[in-house]
Amino acid sequence: MNEAPGAEGLPPSLRLLKWLVIVLTVTMIVGLITLIGLLVIRMPDPANDLSIPTSLQLPDGTKAEAVTKGKGWIAIVTAKNEILVFDALTGKLRHRYPLGPAE
């Protein structure tokens, strides 16, 4: 049986094709490693978790409709059209802002 020719025995067009395939393979491997690296780098930091302190108590009869968290504070929009701002560490109410009536 005839054996496959070595790299030296390939015609120039096939040698070019061989190198293009090698370059494409290396590019895909580098791209995949970069993509995985970016996913790991961009993962959420566990120190910035969005947990709400268990000591946070809403006033009686208040129903939360939306919650947002910033550095050192938690804001809750209630069904009574007001915004309650709590301290993120202690859970104590810092401010209460009334909103206009819903339209």
Provide the number of structural domains found in the chain. Answer: 2
Q: What is the pLDDT of residues 52-79, one digit of tens each?
A: 667 788 888 888 888 888 888 999 998 8
- The answer to whether position 103 is within a domain reads no
Shared domain check, 85 and 56: yes
Q: Where do the H-state alpha helices sit in 11-97? A: 12-41
Find the domain containing 18 and state its range. 9-41
So what's the pLDDT on residue 102? Answer: 59
8 Å CB contact between 86 and 93: yes
pLDDT of residue 46: 64
Residue 32: pLDDT band (50, 70, 90) is very high
Residues 81 and 52 in one domain: yes
In a domain, 1, yes or no: no
Q: Is residue 34 part of a domain?
A: yes
Co-location of 79 and 62 in the same domain: yes
Is the domain of 53 the same as that of 92? yes
Does some domain include residue 53? yes
What percentage of the chain has pLDDT greater than the value 90?
Answer: 39
Q: Angle at the Cα of 11 (from 10 to 14), degrees rounded to 5? A: 80
Task: Single out the residue of 69, 40, 42, 30 nearest to residue 53, CA to CA.
Answer: 69
Task: Return the pLDDT at 16.
Answer: 92
**35-42: average pLDDT:** 91
pTM summary value = 0.49
CB 86 within 8 A of CB 74: yes
Q: Are residues 35 and 52 in the same domain?
A: no
Is residue 3 in some structural domain? no
Same-domain check for residues 53 and 80? yes
Residue 22 lies in a domain: yes
Same domain flag for 78 and 53 = yes
d(CA 18, CA 25): 11
Place of tokens 């104590």: 92
